[in-house]
Amino acid sequence: MKITILLSGGLDSTTLLAYLIDSGHEVACLSFDYGQTHIRELDAATHFTNVYKVPHSIVCLPGVFAGSALTRDAEIPEGHYTDTSMRATVIPNRNMVMLSIAGSMAIQHRSDAVAYAAHADDRGVYPDCRPQFISVMREAFTLCDWNILKLLVPFENWSKRDIYKEAMRLGVDVAATWSCYTGGDKPCGVCGACSARTEAMEGI
């Protein structure tokens, strides 16, 4: 199957890239520059598309997402994804916008499917990772072209810990992925993304 995937350069999407290639699929990657504070993630995305030797496009969406702590000069909240403060990191409707663009590009390049790395631990904070959202988007993808376009979410019912275990099985260079919400040279270790990543790796 020919698949276009959303690749941020983080643990989840990079593991998805490796997972789909390991499953024998032909993959092309799509990343976005949307003014995120953690623009460093695009370097990681580019690194992995070079490692896996797959096509990579970066789309700029300047000024589209403005209401999040991740796209403006605001303090990045610390703590776990389950904390109320993590709602400040929600970028309104981001996945719908990105999936729609990915769908358009997939149709142009005659891909069979679009894939993204939403997982079960994201549901409590990010509305566009909930099963209801995924179900509706799957239906929309079947109707957006004369040919049916599939939406694949292989990690939909996985925990982040499950994804980390899969990354280890596939030999993903986890240290080269970027999950931190800050834009520094090194991960901060205390933001929601860093906390979730650390918890996923503990004891493995």
pLDDT, tens digit (0-9, with 9 covering 90-100), for 107-145: 999 999 999 999 999 887 788 899 999 999 999 999 999
Which bin fits 171, alpha (ψ -120 to 50), beta or left (φ > 0)? left
Domain boundaries, the chain: 2-201
Confirm if 42 and 31 have CB atoms less than 8 A apart: yes
Query: What pLDDT score does 70 carry?
Result: 45
Q: How many CB atoms lie within 10 A of CB 159?
A: 15
For the segment 68-93, the average pLDDT, to the nearest whole number, is: 52
Domain 2-201, CATH among 1.10.3720.10, 3.40.50.620, 3.40.50.11740, 3.40.47.10: 3.40.50.620
Total-model pTM: 0.87
Confirm if 114 and 102 have CB atoms less than 8 A apart: yes
Which residues contact residue 37 at a Cβ distance below 8 angstroms, ignoring those fewer than 6 apart?
69, 70, 71, 76, 181, 182, 183
Query: What pLDDT score does 184 carry?
Result: 76
d(CA 92, CA 70): 11
